Amino acid sequence: MIDTVIFDLDGTLLDTLDDLTDSVNFALRQMGCPERTKEEIRMAVGNSVDYLIEKALPEAHTEQDHARCKAIYEEHYRGNMQNKTAPYAGVDAMLRALSEVGMKMAVVSNKSDAFTKTLVAELFGEHIKTAVGQTYDRARKPAPDGVLYALELLGADRENAVYVGDSEVDALTAKNAGLPCVGCLWGFRDRETLKNAGVTVMIESPTELLSAIQTL
């Protein structure tokens, strides 16, 4: 019986796309590089900040360019990550419903650990106390390390947990961790992408999550 829910963050609980795009484009402008569209940023989010910067920079760039752009981006994002970011409609009600039935909850994200913890504490702290972001001593998603660490922190069993995310990275993370995956169709990827990634249970609204979990 499912008693634990592990969430992705960007594109699942939070619509962070505008702030991510603004910070990436700020860094690109400082580098004298062309800016990226919101759609380009959307498709680059989810793997890691290094992947995001790699995709944002022009193809012909050096390691030094990457390091400088990443540093500028992170400094800007640190002070601007809640300008436009907000929970998706229905997320707060969903978390409340999960809390009321006694579900253990955590967030596991490829966003930096500090940024992940800040956003979760400030926006979802009433319901989610465990947030695991990317660190340099733990393999990032789709490796299962972050999920397994979150389960350990929660005192939860993998056999009773589900992973909820919006991307092919999340689908593979769930598979690698041995968890079923629920795909969110309001996030950064479409139904076809999730289907091709092997996701068989998908929901169109946060209000559908509890009933979807009960079918697993």
β-bridge mates for residue 14, sequence order:
10, 87
**Active site (annotated) includes residue 190:** no
* Residue 50 CB contacts under 8 Å (≥ 6 apart), including other chains: 66, 70
CA gap 123, 25 in Å, rounded: 25
CA gap 52, 124 in Å, rounded: 25
Sign of CA dihedral 65, 70, 76, 77: positive
Local structure of 163: helix, strand or coil: strand
Task: With beta carbons less than 8 A apart as the criterion, state whether 17 and 46 touch.
Answer: no
Q: Which of 96, 109, 82 lies closest to 9, judged by CA? A: 109
**Active-site residue among 3, 8, 92, 145?**
8
Quick one: DSSP state of residue 112? E
CA gap 179, 216 in Å, rounded: 11
Residues that are catalytic: 8
